[in-house]
A and B are shown apart, each in its own frame.
Chain A
């Protein structure tokens, strides 16, 4: 038995039993060996409902070690219900340290965002995925989509983007924007905004994707080529804002629109709370330094 301060002894380390972890670990290795290919795994019933990150939690539980520092974000925020409860779940079942700071984390579980702070080699990003199959909305049959992946029959994906262009004049897909991995598999990057797609490409961090309801996982090893699908005359573009973050003034981060009253007033704030707070701290520091200099002169 392992005694760890803070770990609830009623559970095995990180909740899952060892045989389940072995099964998921074998699937993770297959996912890494075939980047972008969906690997089925025997998903377990978790103590929270599907849609709350059961896939991500099972992947995290299978890789997490006692010395790891864990960060959990939900739409970029560390302080939402989903992020807080998953962080507390692992603090309780694994006795691990957790952090809100991207650079400090060894494992980051995320729902629908990639942190703004660039990831480093050695870090692992675990995505929560609702529908792992990028072709599912076009082709409901699993047998058919499996054959399409086998034959690299991805024309329909381009057709879907083309229909966007024909109808709206631009590609209207704004999140879960399909990508081509290692020039072989079309992959759903999970519902991250397409703003984050370029961060998938040649990332120094290992990226793992877990879908609990669909019982699939897939992976991107570090330094893997990930290209967003596009056309020569309609190249891939990310969202841009005319506004800046109302709290930290950032112009380079993904902004959430916040409605502030019934009159239609609104402001934009960074979706990545850690990034925003670090910038706010730096702003107050630099302004206090300016004040000191003014006093000194």
Chain B
């Protein structure tokens, strides 16, 4: 039995489904091509501060990723936290994406940072088909791309897309989770790709990105 759709739960889609999707894709593509670079999608799709109440979408960057990349060909898995809100309704309505129960079967998975406990449930692709892997969209409490002279930072990234190295910070990320990202890189070319979102902000860490836990300075 399917429930009747409550239209009040629907977030607004792109103003222009063609050109906004293109602009969003270019930012997502740049983000993944330059891991650790922070990008803001509020110019394409308003963040929660810019929206009037009633249409409040706290996950604007994650939703922009969905509007840009998801359709009937992309099985989606939602974590328990992500299943609580209106995301599922909106993914079904706007993207027509099938929502699956098994994370392994999903080409895109939406979760919150505290739910990132293991990569075991997700599909890393296979040796002969490493691209048949899942992409994880992880909503985090805070994201920062830091200047190279920063003394306090969460992680230091290097690898393709990064000229030398890049310092970043993800609020509330645990050492075990950083270790998960390192393990993910170690099994390259297998692995998952990460799109970290925070409101309208987006930062990517690809499976090709080598990362070291950072220094915690005085401030």
Interface residues of A (CB under 8 A from B): 2, 12-14, 18-19, 21-23, 25-35, 37, 39, 62-66, 146-147, 149-151, 182, 184-185, 202, 204, 206, 219-225
Contact = CB atoms under 8 A, between A and B. Distances in A.
A2 B19 contact: yes
Contacts of A19: 71
A194 to B, nearest CB: 22
B186 to A, nearest CB: 13
Given A34-B208, A35-B208, A37-B131, A18 B33 contact: no
A3 to B, nearest CB: 11
A13 B17 CA distance: 11
Contacts of A64: 22
Interface string B25-52: 1101110111000000000000000000
Interface of B: 16-19, 21-23, 25-26, 28-30, 32-34, 68-71, 73-74, 107, 127-131, 133, 135, 159-163, 188-189, 193, 206-208
18 contacts: A2-B18, A12-B18, A13-B18, A14-B22, A21-B21, A21-B22, A23-B73, A25-B29, A25-B69, A30-B193, A31-B131, A32-B32, A33-B208, A34-B207, A147-B128, A150-B128, A182-B208, A222-B163
A270 to B, nearest CB: 29
A35 B160 contact: yes
A33 B206 contact: yes
A185 B206 CA distance: 16
B29 A32 contact: yes
A231 B53 CA distance: 65
Interface residues of B, dominant DSSP? loop
A130 to B, nearest CB: 21
Given A2-B16, A34-B208, A224 B160 contact: yes
A225 B21 CA distance: 31
Contacts of B160: 35, 182, 220-225
A65 B44 CA distance: 13
Given A34-B131, A37-B189, A65 B22 contact: yes
B29 A65 contact: no
A29 B32 contact: yes
A119 to B, nearest CB: 14
A180 to B, nearest CB: 13
Contacts of B21: 18, 21-22
A213 B206 CA distance: 29
B69 A22 contact: yes
Contacts of A26: 69, 74, 107
Given A28-B29, A223-B162, A18 B69 contact: no
Contacts of B16: 2
B68 A185 contact: no
A64 B19 CA distance: 10
Contacts of B70: 22
A184 B188 contact: yes
A25 B107 CA distance: 14
Nearest to B130: A34
A62 B24 CA distance: 12
Contacts of A65: 19, 22-23, 26
A224 B193 contact: no
B126 to A, nearest CB: 8
Nearest to A106: B26
A26 B163 CA distance: 24
Given A32-B33, A37-B189, A223 B26 contact: no
Contacts of B32: 29, 32-33, 221
Given A32-B33, A34-B131, A221-B34, A22 B18 contact: no
B207 A33 contact: yes
A222 B131 contact: no
A292 to B, nearest CB: 43
A273 to B, nearest CB: 28
A85 B193 CA distance: 37
